[in-house]
Structure 1
Amino acid sequence: MRRLGGLEAEIMDRLWRWQRPTTVREVVDDINRVRPVAYTTVLTVANILHRKGWLRRHKVGRAWAYEPARGREEYTAGLMQDALGRSADRRATLMRFVSHISREDCAALDAALRALDQAEAPAADAGGER
């Protein structure tokens, strides 16, 4: 998965936080609080994100309202998978990663792995009965 560009990430971050359909004007006004950006630039990037499948849109009057088509968690997981896929030694990379995360994150990872094991067990049992 390709990392989002700077303005792409700024737009997506706002839409993920706001959790509602948003017009380009609202995004531009919010970004302009921090730094200047042109309406047409944000409109172009929002259209690119729409074509890439990151945003959904629908008409509100004459403007488009955009909302995320994919969540922040999906994006982050994709970046993590991509980084892991670039490693020559996946096991060593995972070990290094786990050795640097907090105990809370380690417990969350352990819980996620257990949940996956439990979800896969009934599927495997059902498949064996056929």
Structure 2
Amino acid sequence: MGDESAERRPAGELEAEVLAALWAAGEPLTPGRVRKALGVPLARTTVTTILSRLHEKGTVARTRSGRGYAYAPTEDAPGLTARRMHSELAKDEDRGAVLARFVSQLNDEDERLLRALLDDGEAG
């Protein structure tokens, strides 16, 4: 028996690839079509499991398609990243400390961008 851990993907990598395939398609896809879009040898059941998990997380929506489902992302990549950031922020009771640490670790360009976004929010 070979070392299966050497063949394992990092956590979340397959979910990210499935989401990328859905974003690229621009339309709902069945698990079979997602599998083809990925271009890697995965079992259809594996793709279906990943899509079901993404649905449980609210990351994809599903609609009936024949006897199964077709899946579409619920938001674009920036929206998903923002949701993950909010989720991480909500895990800590000291939101101020988390935000302060986050801001202190921004590079100059990102800090300028954040300042501009906050200024626009105050003006609008």
- Please give the range of the TM-score, normalised by the shorter of the 2 chains: 0.5 to 0.7
Match of 2:35 in 1: 28
CA pair 32-117 structure 1, distance change in 2 beyond 3 A: same
Match of 1:43 in 2: 48
Superposition TM-score, scaled by structure 2 size: 0.65
Which of 105, 112, 121 is the matching residue for 1:100?
Answer: 105
The residue matched to 2:71 in structure 1 has which SS? strand
Structure (1 or 2) with the larger CA radius of gyration: 1
Identity over aligned residues, as a percent? Answer: 38
Task: Output one character per residue of 1:63-120: Cα deviation in whole Å (capped at 9) or x when no partner.
Answer: 643211233223212222233334464444333322332333222211221222233x
Residue 15 of structure 1 deviates from its aligned partner by: 1.6
CA pair 92-50 structure 1, distance change in 2 beyond 3 A: closer
Structure 1 unmatched runs, 5+: 120-130
After superposition, the CA RMSD in angstroms is: 2.9
Residues matched between the structures, number = 114
Matched, 1:8 2:15: yes
Greater RCO (CA < 8 Å, at least 6 residues apart): 1
- Given that 2:89 and 2:98 are in contact with CA atoms closer than 8 Å, whether structure 1 keeps it comes out as yes
Distance 1:47 1:31 in 2: 17
Task: Output one character per residue of 1:45-69: Cα deviation in whole Å (capped at 9) or x when no partner.
Answer: 2233334432223455666432112
Matched, 1:56 2:61: yes
Distance 1:69 1:88 in 2: 28
Structure 2 unmatched runs, 5+: 1-10
